[in-house]
Amino acid sequence: MAAASNDLDCFVNPSSVAVVGASKDESSVGHALLRNLLFGGAGPRERKAGFGGPVHAVNAKGGDVLGQAAFTSLAAIGEKVDLVVAAIPPRFIPGLVDEAAAVGARGMIVISAGFGEMGDEGRKLQDDMVARAKAHGIRLIGPNCLGVLRPATALNASFSAKAAPRGRIGLLSQSGALVTGLLSYAERERFGFSAAVSLGGKADVDDEEMLRFLADDPETRAIAIYLEAFPEPRKVYEVLREVAAKKPVVAIKGGATDAGAKAASSHTGSLAGSHAAYSAAFAQAGVLQARTSSELAGWARALSSQPIAHGNRIAIITNAGGPGVLAADACGREGLALAELSADTKSALDKVLPAVWSHNNPIDVIGDATPERFEHALRIVGAAPEVDGVVLLLTVQAMTDPLATARAVERVHAEPTWTKPLVASLVGLVGTDVGSYLDERGIPELNMPEQAVNAMAALVRRGRWVARKPVDAPAMAKLPAPDLDKARRAAKEAQAAGQKNLDLGRARAVLEAAGIRYNRGGTAADEGEAVKLAESIGYPVVVKAVSADVVHKSDVGAVVLDVVGEDGVRAACAKIRQRVAQHVPHARIEGFTVDEQVKGTEIIVGTFRDPGFGPLVMVGLGGIFVEVYKDVSWRLVPLDRLDALEMIGDLQAQPLLNGARKRPVLDRAELAEVILRISNLVDAVPEIVEIDLNPLVITKSGLVAIDARVIVG
C-alpha cells in the first residue's frame, strides 16, 4: 500500500500513546513497553527522559503499573489515543483494533506474535486484524516486532533494553535483535539514530512505505537496512532506486551464502541465487551493500555525518608509521588512491612539521606530535586541491594529548572552509571519553585504521554514484542489427518441438537474431559431413557434440580442440562418442558442430530468471573456470549502458581484460553492447529461461561467440 509520509507520522510523533497489556511483571514485554515509554529505557526512572506526551497503561485487571493507574480498556481512558502499542494474546488483537478506532487512534504497533508466521489459523487472524484496520483507517506496524524508537520525540515504543541515542541514521531491520544490538553499540560508540524500526510481520506497513518515510524525513540523513528477504523484491528495488536518489542507503542481507539455484541447467543458473539477485538490485539502485554489521554501522555513521567524496584521492595523517602503512594498504584494497601531494602542499607542511616528517602520503607528523601540529597539518591537507578526503590516525604515546588533539581536529572541521569528508581513528580509544569526543561532534571515529579507511570508501562510492552520468551509445559496426522477432520465433519453434535445452543450431539462431557475432561454423549429421565442413572453414577447428542430453560438454569430454586434417576430424568425432557414452550413457548424439578455432581471453554473458526479481544478466570470467573463480557481476533487466559498463568494471580480472601477457584488449563498449542485447533479448522473449553465452572470446577484431546455451520454459 502506498502512503504519504505523514500517514506514518503517528508512529514517530504521536500526540498520546497507550500500552495495552501493561503489566506489573518486570519480566514481561508489557512492563518493558510501558517503562520505555515513561522513562526512555531500563535506566533511572526519570519521567523527563521518556515520551513527552500522555502515556496510558491498559490492563484488563486494572490496578497500578509503574506508578500509573491502569485502565481496564482503551475506552476507560476517556480521551483520544493517537497510538496504541499492543502486547496481548493474538486472539484479542482484532477486537482491539475496533476499540482503538473508537478512541480515535491513527496507528497500532502490534508486538504480539502468533499471526501469519503460525500457519493457516494465524493467517486468518492476521487477515481479520488487517481488514478491520483498513476499514477504520488505522495503520499497523507488526505483528511480531520489536517496535519503534524515535529519539527526536523521546519515543521508545519498543521492548528494547536501551533507548536510541539521537542521530541521523534511519535504521530499518527485519531483525529486532539486531536493532537492540546496534543500540548498545551506538551507546558505546556515541553515534545515533533518527529512527529505529522493526516491522516484524509487515501485515500493513511494509518496507517500501518506511523507506519512503525515511527518505522524506528531515531527521534522517542516511538509511541503514538489515534484511533477509523482501516479500516483493522487484517492488522494493524500484523504491530503493527512488530513495537512494535522495539519500544514501546502506544495506546488509542475511543469508548471503545460499547455494544458488541447484536445479539450474546452466553455468549462469548455478551461479544465481537470492544473494546474487539482491546484490544486483542494490548495485543498480545505488545502495551500498555492506558485508558485515560493523560495515553497516561504520558506513551509515560516515554517510550520515560527512559530505560525500568527489574523488578517490585520500590523504592519511598519522603520528605513527605502522598504522599509516596499514591504512595505505587498506586504501589499495578499497580501490582508493593515495593522493600525490603537490609541491605547494609539501612546502606548506614543511613550515609546520619537523624536518623529519615523511614528506609523502601517508603524512607522518611524528610520534611526539602536539595537538597544534595535527591541527596545522589537517588544515593544510584539507585545503589541498589534490586531496578528496582525509583519514586521520592517532596512537597514544607518552608525549601525546589525545583529548586536546581531538579538540584541535574538531576546530578545523568546524571551520567554514572545511568541505571534505574526514574520518578518524584514535586507535584503541573507542568507547572512552576521548574516543567519543569526535563522534559526538559529527566526525566518525572508528577503532582501527582499516575501519576508518573502509568508512571513507563508502563516502567515495556514494560520491561516485551521485556523479553518474548517462553514457552515449557508440557506433557498433562490428555487430549485426538485432532481429528480436526472429529470436522469438526460434524460441517458440523449440518449445513446439519439445526442446527445453535448445540444440546448438537453434541456440545459435536465437543469439544471432539478437545481433551476437559468432565464429564461422556449422552442424554436421555425421563424420563425413564434419570433414567437409572443416575443410570449408579451414584448420584448425573445434569439434563438439550436438546433444540435448549433454549440458556442459567440456565436463564430459564432448569438445575437442586443435583439430587438423580429415583424420583428425574423424578421430575427434570418435573420441567424443566414446567419452559421452562413458560419462552420460543415455545421451543421444545427434551430430557434431565444427567451428573455426578462435583463441583469446574467454568471458561469459548469461541470463537467469529469478522468481522475485525477474530476469537478471551476468558477465564474468568465462570458459571452464566460470564456476571455479566465480568472478562475475550481476544486474537486473532492464539495464542501461552505464550499468553494463559498471558490471565490467566490477570484475576482478581487469588485467586480463586490459591485455595482460599480450592478450587482446577488451573493447568495453562492444561488451556493454552485447550485455544490453542479451538483456533486451530475455526482456522481449519471456519463453527464454536461461542463457549462457560461454565462451565469448576477446580477439583483436572484437568479441566472437564460440558456444551458447539457450534454455526455454
pLDDT confidence of residue 268:
57
pLDDT confidence of residue 6:
63
Query: What is the number of helices (H) and of strands (E) in the chain?
Result: 23, 29
Average pLDDT in the 48-73 region? 93
To the question of domain 5-220 being in CATH 1.10.1370.40, the answer is no
Average pLDDT in the 552-560 region? 91
Average pLDDT in the 114-127 region? 91
pLDDT confidence of residue 266:
54
pLDDT confidence of residue 191:
92
Domain spans in the chain, listed from the N-terminal domain onward: 5-220, 309-466, 520-596
The whole-angstrom separation of Cα 447 and Cα 432 is 11
Average pLDDT in the 72-76 region? 96
Longest dimension (CA), the chain: 99
Q: What is the 3-state secondary structure (H, E, C) of 576-610?
A: HHHHHHHHCCCCCCCEEEEEECCCCEEEEEEEEEE
In the three-class reduction of DSSP (H, G, I as helix; E, B as strand; rest coil), residue 282 is classed as: helix
Confidence of residue 539 (pLDDT cuts 50, 70, 90): very high
The class that CATH gives domain 309-466 is alpha beta
The residue behind cell 544490538 is 181
pLDDT confidence of residue 536:
95
Average pLDDT in the 146-173 region? 95
pLDDT confidence of residue 259:
41
pLDDT confidence of residue 651:
95
pLDDT confidence of residue 537:
93
Confidence of residue 113 (pLDDT cuts 50, 70, 90): very high
From residue 134, alpha-carbon distances to 137, 221, 633, 674 in Å are 5, 31, 42, 48
Average pLDDT, the chain: 92
The whole-angstrom separation of Cα 136 and Cα 554 is 64
| Higher-scoring residue by pLDDT: 238, 49 | 238
DSSP 37-55: HHHSSSS---GGGS-SS-E
Average pLDDT in the 264-281 region? 70
Average pLDDT in the 433-453 region? 91
pLDDT in tens, 188-235: 888 999 999 999 999 999 999 999 999 999 999 999 999 988 888 999
Contact 359, 346 (CB under 8 A): yes
pLDDT confidence of residue 275:
84
CB atoms within 10 A of CB 562: 12
Among 349-353, 457-461, 610-614, where is mean pLDDT lowest?
610-614
CATH superfamily of 520-596: ATP-grasp fold, A domain (3.30.1490.20)
The whole-angstrom separation of Cα 308 and Cα 76 is 53
pLDDT confidence of residue 271:
60
Sheet holding 541-546, edge to edge: 521-524, 591-596, 541-546, 559-563
Residue 262 has pLDDT above 50, yes or no: no
For residue 143, whether the previous peptide bond is cis, meaning omega lies within 30 degrees of 0, is yes
pLDDT in tens, 175-193: 899 999 999 999 888 899 9
Contact 531, 566 (CB under 8 A): yes
| Higher-scoring residue by pLDDT: 1, 144 | 144
The whole-angstrom separation of Cα 398 and Cα 14 is 52
pLDDT confidence of residue 181:
93
pLDDT confidence of residue 656:
92
pLDDT confidence of residue 168:
97
Q: Of 86, 158, 159, 172, give the one whose Cα is nearest residue 129.
A: 86
Residue 3 has pLDDT above 50, yes or no: no
Fold agreement (5-220, 309-466): yes
Cα 567 to its chain centre, rounded Å, is 54
Q: Go through 488-515 and write b for each residue having 16 or more CB atoms within 10 A of its CB, e for each that does not.
A: bebbeebeeeebebbbbebbbbbbbbbb
Residue 269 has pLDDT above 80, yes or no: no
Residue 673 has pLDDT above 80, yes or no: yes
pLDDT-above-70 percentage for the chain: 96
The whole-angstrom separation of Cα 235 and Cα 528 is 55
pLDDT in tens, 468-506: 998 888 877 788 889 999 999 989 989 998 899 998 788
pLDDT confidence of residue 2:
43
Q: Of 704, 699, 676, 679, give the one whose Cα is nearest residue 691.
A: 679
Confidence of residue 270 (pLDDT cuts 50, 70, 90): low
* Cell numbers placing 25: 511483571
**Looking at the DSSP assignment, which residues form a beta bridge with residue 363?**
317
Average pLDDT in the 362-379 region? 96
Average pLDDT in the 574-582 region? 96
Confidence of residue 273 (pLDDT cuts 50, 70, 90): low
CA dihedral sign of residues 348, 352, 355, 359: negative
Among 383-387, 569-573, 705-709, where is mean pLDDT lowest?
705-709
DSSP helix, strand, coil percent of the chain (3-state; round to 5):
40, 20, 40
